[in-house]
Amino acid sequence: MSYTRHDQDGRFHASTLLREVLRGNELELQDENWIEISRAVKARNQQDPVGSENIISSLVPKDDVQSFALIYIRLVAAIDRDDRMVAKSLADIMQQHPLMDEPFAKALAGFRIGQAVRMASRVEQAMVLQMDAAAAFRELGWSFEEALCVVEVGHIMRTRGDAAGALRCYLSVLDTIRKDGGEDLHARMLVNLAGVLYASGNIEEAERRFSQALQTSTYTLPGPARVDVLVRLGFLHKAAGRIDAAKESYLEAMSMIDLQQPSVMAARIRCSLAELAEMSGDHESALAQIEDLHSTHVDFMLLRPQLQSYAVKAKALRMMGRTAECADALRTAMNLARASDEIELRQILLADALEYVDDPDLRMEILEDYRIVQDERMKATSKSASAMLDLRVSFEQEQSRREVSRQKEIAALIVDTQTATLIEIGRELHDSLGQDLTVMLRLADRMADNEQRFPEDLVPVVATLRDVSRRAAHDVRRISHLLADGGVSSRGIADALRGMRDETAQAVPELDLKVLTFGSLEEMPQTIARTLYRVTQSLVQNVVKHSRATRCTVNLVVHPDHYHLDIEDNGIGFDASEASSGMGLRESRARIELMGGSVRVESSPGRGTYVEVTLPSTT
């Protein structure tokens, strides 16, 4: 399927059109629908999902490619707004789309469907989808899209707590994202990278990446994006005990928020500033900030900031000697903690409380909670570690399987190319040099038939010319026949092997070569027949060239589930531990292993050689 454009080739292929439009790149489009689809993508890229939907809502697709693009845009919008139900519905529709037969469409859809599956917490399935999409993009040569899939695999590992695996994924594609993804995507990658660096314990490098992101145009201007990074950076400074640096980050973030409009982010920042005041010993300021926060932002506080605020309040009250109020605030924090799944936060809260609580009854209550939390933490840690290990093992196995498959495909391509080349050379020998030698032989025969017309001293020259021409023509036919697989087919492999035996007997009369076949060869696939013939040919040549043997036996046996080939000679043998050094044996082993078979070699100096080949009947 192609589309008109205004350049010298005059055509757009569907894959190019989809890729460029869905990435938001500029194209000289003529079709009105594609112009509108391109506008919708750009609106979405500019954080205007409503505008994007309004543009495409009235469009009627003219073909499967436009239909695919509209579903794709709506799926991306559902993923962006974390609408799991709609994302799942659109992903199901996309999987049934007619264009999914095309590799480029399947890859594009696989990436987004993988994201939708991850949203549904089916992380193993999501990872396989992303790896499938990455492999497809690699085949298409779309390195940027492949990098996006690797980033998504990193996100999956991060959700499982595998910060090291996520870090490896992010770093492996950072240069590609920087080069091809534009500054905005690269800046967001830096923020993700900083997050996993912090989780990995590399605080200095995490701080450097956050600071680097803040210098990009994505995060330079005041707004929600810069506020988010500043808050993350403030948290990093706070965890490292750098109170002044943390306060500076939080205050800059606060300056970009409308304080007249309470919000989740404002509550989070104000709670963190109160905690910094408490950490610096300014208990009264910390308490005042928390009480003001509770009076103005309580409806906008998520569970974690609520818990954190009561913990700060309890500690400030205790340091100010107001123990009864401290106990009330701490119990409120503990009740919030019990109602949450934040095991790590509960553990930190209780461990910190044990540092400043003196009341025996409250301490016993804290210790009992602490014991329960530790038990839950051990179970959760074990479960999390197991899930992380399972995911990492699954990822490594899938990656290894794909690499083996890729190497097999490359090896198969090399073997097929080699075979085709040899057949072509054999055909050229037969058709060109073979024909020339035939003409030469006929001329020599005519000259020999009229030898009485030649001077007596030229008669032996004519006879020699005829003999050499005959031998050369025979050798060319024999070599071209060998190069062209000897006419091997499932029905003809026995005849081809016997033909090889007869030709070898003529060339090496001192070698007694026997070829025996057992079982029906009629069902043997031609690829297997060709492989077994080539291997036999190569190994017999080894016997002829190197073994000094007087006897050699070739057995080909057909079993219900596999083929058995063995070649045995009585030659000088060799050290079997060095078998891989021989080109013929190495090539034979590669051919057989490529098709799922095996090669076994038995040999020692002075005791001949036995080579056994086993090949599955279905490969």
DSSP for 120-140, please give it.
Answer: TT-HHHHHHHHHHHHHHHHHH
pLDDT tens-place string over residues 48-96: 888 888 888 888 998 888 999 999 999 999 998 888 899 999 999 999 9
Query: Is a pLDDT exceeding 50 seen at residue 490?
Result: no
pLDDT tens per residue, range 357-394 = 888 888 888 888 888 877 776 776 555 556 556 656 66
At residue 615, the pLDDT reads 92
More confident residue, 546 or 457: 546
Give the Cα separation of 368 and 188 in Å (integer): 43
Q: What is the pTM of this model?
A: 0.60
CB 320 within 8 A of CB 284: yes
**What pLDDT, on a 0 to 100 scale, did the predictor assign at position 11?**
39
Q: Residue 408: which pLDDT band, with cuts at 50, 70 and 90?
A: low
Query: pLDDT tens across 436-474, in order?
Result: 566 666 666 767 666 556 666 666 766 777 777 777 766
Closest CA to 533 of 546, 517, 552: 517
Q: What φ, ψ does residue 217 adopt, rounded to 5°?
A: -65, -25
pLDDT of amino acid 491: 47
pLDDT band at 409 (very low <50, low <70, confident <90, very high): low
| Annotated domain spans of the chain | 1-142, 400-483, 496-616
How does pLDDT run across 234-280, given as a tens digit for each residue? 999 988 889 999 999 999 998 988 766 667 888 888 889 999 999 99
Statement: residue 8 has pLDDT above 50: no
Query: Cβ distance 130 to 111 under 8 Å?
Result: yes
For 9-54, how does the pLDDT look when each residue is reduced to its tens digit (9 = 90+)?
A: 233 577 778 888 888 777 777 888 888 998 998 888 887 888 888 8
Q: Using the predicted structure, report yes or no on whether residue 7 has a pLDDT greater than 60.
A: no
Cβ(266)–Cβ(297) below 8 Å: yes
Class of domain 496-616: alpha beta
Output the pLDDT for position 396: 67
Q: Can you tell me the mean pLDDT for 105-111? A: 92
519: phi > 0 → left, psi -120 to 50 → alpha, else beta; which? left
C-beta pairs of 432-435 under 8 Å, 24+ apart in sequence: 433/476, 434/473, 434/476, 434/477, 434/480
What was the pLDDT predicted at 406?
Answer: 61
Instruction: Answer yes or no: is pLDDT of 553 > 90.
Output: yes
State residue 418's pLDDT score.
62
**Across all residues in the chain, what is the average pLDDT?**
81
pLDDT (tens digit per residue) in 183-215:
888 999 999 999 989 888 888 899 999 999 999
What is residue 398's predicted lDDT score, i.e. its pLDDT?
63
- Of the ranges 162-171, 475-484, 584-593, the best mean pLDDT one: 162-171
pLDDT for 415:
61
Give residue 404's pLDDT.
Answer: 64
With residue 156 as reference, give the H or E element that holds it. Answer: helix 143-159
Following CA atoms 222, 228, 233, 234 in sequence, which dihedral angle do they give, to the nearest 10 degrees? 90
